[in-house]
Structure 1
């Protein structure tokens, strides 16, 4: 058991038969009343997110999540298919559970899938990925990095705000946490 006050972003716990991942956690002291923990949580099985508050002294059961390196193969119907590179065993994850992660996945990309006991519950992405620009307005001559930027559609369909000098066909490094432009890939 773990106290709610000790929960941090990325941790997982069980409550009411649900497997829950903490997306954000903050300590809040209102003007009157007791201290509470404000939490943004995601149900790892259904993919739904909720904002809630809990008392800091409440206890929850910590869930141990294991991970395994796999290769993303393709999407068939409403399932994303992954393959273990050592055993060639295939795993299916509902697309609705990994909608955010699919914005960064390319065919044959190596990622880690997450397990709770024997159940596949999610995908863990690297901090940044390299994606190719497939559509963006023309670059502006003399544009600098500090300009306001423009939208660029990446090969996965993700739209990223990029500097004005970026052109179609360039490969960019994109942050998987917030979908922001990091830099041009080498």
Structure 2
């Protein structure tokens, strides 16, 4: 059992026969009245996102999510194919089950496939990936304002903001959770 006061991002729990995952949470202690927990939760099976408020003492059974290491192979239409690294079985997953951060995954990359009672509901890429910049504008000499950035396209087709000194062909490290440039690789 998990209490609402212990909610953290990524926690999964069972509520009313459905499995939910915490996307965002906020513990609120108003000046008057009792404290509460404001959350944004996603139904892991349907993918729907809702805002819900909980009493910190509310208790829910923990839902155990299976995370399997798989290798991303290729895309065919709206299906993405993954291979189990232990059994070498291929698993097609529909594009609707992939989050926005999947745009940082390239072929042959290791990912975690998330399932609940055999139903696959998501793919979790590594927290950090190293990708090559394929297209960006050249930086200008003397353009040294603090935190100045420019758009750049990665080898996967994703677009991010990078510092002015980054050029085409540079390998960079990306945080897939935020989609931000971290450093040169």
Q: Give me the whole-angstrom Cα distance separating, in 1, the residues matched to 2:92 and 2:28.
A: 39
Instruction: Number of aligned residue pairs: give it.
Output: 185
| Partner SS for 2:106 | coil
Alpha-carbon shift at residue 94 of structure 1 (Å): 2.3
Q: TM-score, normalised by structure 1?
A: 0.89
Unaligned ranges ≥5, structure 1: none
Task: Give the match for residue 11 of structure 2.
Answer: 11
Q: TM-score, normalised by structure 2?
A: 0.90
Any idea what the Cα deviations from partners look like across 1:20-63, whole Å, max 9, x if unmatched? Answer: 11122221022332211011222222333333211112222211
Task: Give the match for residue 36 of structure 2.
Answer: 36
Equivalent positions of 1:1-186 (< 5 A) are: 1-142=1-142, 146-185=146-185
| Partner SS for 2:104 | coil
Any idea what the Cα deviations from partners look like across 1:110-155, whole Å, max 9, x if unmatched? Answer: 1121222222222222221011112211122355594411111212
Q: Give me the whole-angstrom Cα distance separating, in 2, the residues matched to 1:48 and 1:140.
A: 44
Q: Give me the whole-angstrom Cα distance separating, in 2, the residues matched to 1:117 and 1:71.
A: 21
Change beyond 3 A, Cα 1:159–1:145 = farther
Determine if contact 1:170/1:184 at 8 Å carries over to the other structure: yes
| Partner SS for 1:169 | coil
Change beyond 3 A, Cα 1:171–1:145 = farther
| Partner SS for 1:140 | coil
Alpha-carbon shift at residue 85 of structure 1 (Å): 2.2
Q: Give me the whole-angstrom Cα distance separating, in 2, the residues matched to 1:28 and 1:97.
A: 32
Q: Give me the whole-angstrom Cα distance separating, in 1, the residues matched to 2:154 and 2:49.
A: 26
Alpha-carbon shift at residue 107 of structure 1 (Å): 0.9
Q: Give me the whole-angstrom Cα distance separating, in 2, the residues matched to 1:153 and 1:48.
A: 30
Q: Give me the whole-angstrom Cα distance separating, in 2, the residues matched to 1:134 and 1:147.
A: 22
Unaligned ranges ≥5, structure 2: none
Q: Compare 102-111 and 71-80 and name the one that shifted more.
A: 71-80
| Partner SS for 1:5 | helix
Alpha-carbon shift at residue 68 of structure 1 (Å): 1.6
| Partner SS for 1:62 | coil
